Structure 1
């Protein structure tokens, strides 16, 4: 199976989760690519007419995992910009995750996941699961838990 992990990561936390996912899914015998989103022109924060510099082509993937940080209690604007600009996810099996710094429920994790899921479903994706990693002293265990959950959702070997 070919799996695409499409992420936006400013601090490296979201990338760390993606790396762990890639490691485990590759060990299961799957081809896994990580693609990081960047704004064209070196912008850090997207504006109304911003474009993604390197928009990944999702057509070659059997499954897609989207990952992004929570910014200002919402989905990262870079990920939001990318997902909004994707023309269709029709029939694509998708999983979404976010990373965040604060452990409280009201600090945007649920909202960011909801935003990501809503955009994907509006483009006809089949969102089979979501996950959140709070970047605190327990983040390694949380990453392991998310990886295990996602491997199960993808009907992959689950150790």
Structure 2
């Protein structure tokens, strides 16, 4: 059993929806799981230096972390970028991530956002275990969500 934090920025609710599916599966596998949301009081800001976070999850209590965020402007959400830039080191915790995006294909920003998240996480003393992109307008969205849940929930203690 592991204590797992799912740290999410969700603007429209799509990313939070996927996070809840991941949490359900991890809990059914016997893990202790919490979803914590990153919230900014200026959610529309794109300059990460100007973003004012009002809910900043503390990840020190978790054994493993899963980060979820939307793609915005073909890049990782500026809110998640600001959070990951300013948070403390992860000290070797197991880390996975996922992004949700409006466009139907990962190459339309999802892959770039994952790479940005991976680089930010790995700058915090950890290695990315796995990642996934959910394309909200893809006809196979439900299958993509199921595959994301399966992939990100395969956590070995």
Shared topology, TM-score over 0.5? yes
When the two chains are superposed, the root-mean-square deviation of aligned CA atoms in Å is 1.3
Count of residue pairs brought into register by the alignment: 153
Residue 105 of structure 1 deviates from its aligned partner by 4.0
Q: Comparing both structures, which one devotes a greater share of its residues to helix?
A: 1
Structure 2: state its 5+ residue gaps.
none
1:32 is matched with: 33
1:44 and 2:13 equivalent? Answer: no
Please show how residues 1-159 of structure 1 align to structure 2 within 5 Å: 1-39=2-40, 42-46=41-45, 47=47, 48-136=49-137, 137-152=139-154, 154-155=155-156
Q: Any idea what SS the aligned residue of 1:107 has?
A: coil
Structure 1: state its 5+ residue gaps.
none
Residue 106 of structure 1 deviates from its aligned partner by 3.3
TM-score by length of 1: 0.91
8 Å Cα contact 2:106-2:135 kept in structure 1? no
TM-score by length of 2: 0.92
Alpha-carbon distance in structure 2 between the residues aligned to 1:84 and 1:61:
19
Alpha-carbon distance in structure 1 between the residues aligned to 2:15 and 2:74:
16
Residue 54 of structure 1 deviates from its aligned partner by 1.4
1:23-52 deviation digits (Å, cap 9, x = unpaired): 11111111110011111xx21223423332
User: Which consecutive segments of 4 or more residues in structure 1 shift more than 3 A?
Assistant: none
Q: Any idea what SS the aligned residue of 1:132 has?
A: strand
Residue 103 of structure 1 deviates from its aligned partner by 2.0
Alpha-carbon distance in structure 2 between the residues aligned to 1:93 and 1:102:
29
